[in-house]
Amino acid sequence: MILVTGGTGLVGSHLLYYLTKAGKNPVALKRKSSNIKRVSEVFSYYSKEYESLFKKIVWIEGDILDYESLSEAMKNVTHVYHCAASVSFQSSDSSSLTDTNITGTTNIVNVCLESNVKKLLHVSTIGALGRAESDGIVTEESHWNNKKSSVYSTSKYHAEMEVWRGIAEGLNAVIVNPSIILGPGDWNSGSSKLFTTMYNGLKFYSTGTNGFVDVNDVAKAMIILMEHNISGERYILNSENVSYKDFFTWMAQSLKVSPPPYKATKLMSEIGWRLLWVNGLITGKRSSITKETAQTACQNYQYSNSKIKEHTDIKFVPVNESINNNSILFLQSHNN
């Protein structure tokens, strides 16, 4: 039996789609407040039979912070995909990130060990890897540098440490580190919000470079690694390293809107996040642009996907193609 945490999120919902499409009946852990309708909507993007596929999911109410409910959900489970996470780049959210990402993963690992689960796949983030020096390539062996990491990445790094601890105690587990994930989900949050922001009129592009990967490739890679005889390894999931200027230009073309005309220099970014922070104090509305995201947008991060390609036969969708595919889905959803 397969258990999926975070099934209502971008990665989790796509994972559930591919599992049900393959004839599986996965168990999905959900909180009482979770919106499972969004999962059905994701299924509808890819299949006319989405309703019958959605019905294959066995939803169980629980929480990764509730040890008892987690133990109950994991009875008779043999394989666990841990996708649940809290995402924020606000320093003020450090406590909640610690609870969900670190304590939650600790609970997952401990219950997996107690329940003799055959294998755990943990979804981390590219930010939990070390940052290479200027123009360097980040690999799975890059050294962690806490000074160059966000509060979110730091919490995911320590969550990974819990998985490695579980591996040392005899748990079969593998970790994936996706770069920025492109896919249809909640168009008003996470990386999916990039399409909404561009469609509504983005005026500035940043000067940096980052890695991007299609969510379908992430889900497929997870299933391949779970079914493969691999344990005690981590894998970067990244299609291409693309400049933000090219990325936003491609997105604007796909959405049939004007690309951002102005370059946001490092100085402008530094001033911008401070002004937005002050505005947030006055209005009570938090900006999605923080000190950490502003600094990251001006950096040239590049990630290697050599290891996953060497160990599997996965072929990543080019970033421009992923943008085109997801823009079609965004416009379809927007028009409806």
Read off φ and ψ for residue 71, nearest 5 degrees: -65, -40
State residue 89's pLDDT score: 62
Report yes or no on 61 lying in a domain. Answer: yes
- Nearest CA to 131 out of 116, 119, 115, 148 is that of 148
3-state secondary structure 234-275: EEEECCEEEEHHHHHHHHHHHHCCCCCCEEECHHHHHHHHHH
Report yes or no on 246 lying in a domain. Answer: no
Position 107 pLDDT exceeds 90 = yes
Average pLDDT, the chain: 86
**Continuous segment of H or E residues that includes residue 43:** helix 37-46
Angle formed by the axes of helices 215-227 and 10-21, nearest 10°? 60
Select the more confidently predicted residue: 280 or 253.
253
Tokens representing 82 are 């841990």
Position 28 pLDDT exceeds 60 = yes
- State the Cα–Cα distance between residues 192 and 198, nearest whole angstrom: 11
Report yes or no on 146 lying in a domain. Answer: yes
**Cβ atoms of 220 and 237 closer than 8 Å:** no
| Least reliable range by pLDDT among 107-111, 159-163, 200-204 | 200-204
Position 297 pLDDT exceeds 60 = no
| Least reliable range by pLDDT among 189-203, 205-219, 270-284, 293-307 | 270-284
Position 182 pLDDT exceeds 50 = yes
Q: Which residues form the domain of 125? A: 2-182+211-239+302-317
Cα 210–Cα 212–Cα 214 angle in degrees, nearest 5: 175
Report yes or no on 110 lying in a domain. Answer: yes
**Cβ atoms of 211 and 241 closer than 8 Å:** yes
CB-neighbour burial class of residue 127 (10 A; exposed 0-12, middle 13-18, buried 19+): buried
Report yes or no on 155 lying in a domain. Answer: yes
What does the pLDDT average to over 204-213?
86
**Which pLDDT band holds residue 86 (cuts at 50, 70, 90)?**
confident
Report yes or no on 278 lying in a domain. Answer: no
Report yes or no on 161 lying in a domain. Answer: yes
Output the CA torsion 5→151→68→3 (10° steps): 10
Residues whose CB falls within 8 Å of the CB of residue 250, separated by 6 or more in sequence, listed in order: 319, 320, 323, 324
CATH number of the domain at 162, please.
3.40.50.720
pTM of the entire predicted model = 0.89
State residue 282's pLDDT score: 47
- State the Cα–Cα distance between residues 14 and 50, nearest whole angstrom: 12
What does the pLDDT average to over 135-163?
84
Select the more confidently predicted residue: 149 or 113.
113
Report yes or no on 325 lying in a domain. Answer: no
What does the pLDDT average to over 184-195?
87
Position 257 pLDDT exceeds 50 = yes
**Continuous segment of H or E residues that includes residue 120:** strand 119-123
**Cβ atoms of 5 and 66 closer than 8 Å:** no
State residue 114's pLDDT score: 94
Residues whose CB falls within 8 Å of the CB of residue 335, separated by 6 or more in sequence, listed in order: none
DSSP β-bridge partners for residue 293: none
State residue 27's pLDDT score: 95
| Least reliable range by pLDDT among 63-77, 134-148, 153-167 | 134-148
Exposure string for 208-229, b = 16+ CB within 10 A, e = fewer:
bbbbbbbbbbbbbbbbbbbeee
Kindly report, residue by residue over 223-252, the tens digit of the pLDDT.
999 999 999 999 999 999 999 899 989 999
Kindly report, residue by residue over 258-285, the tens digit of the pLDDT.
988 877 655 444 434 343 333 444 445 5
Number of domains in the chain: 1
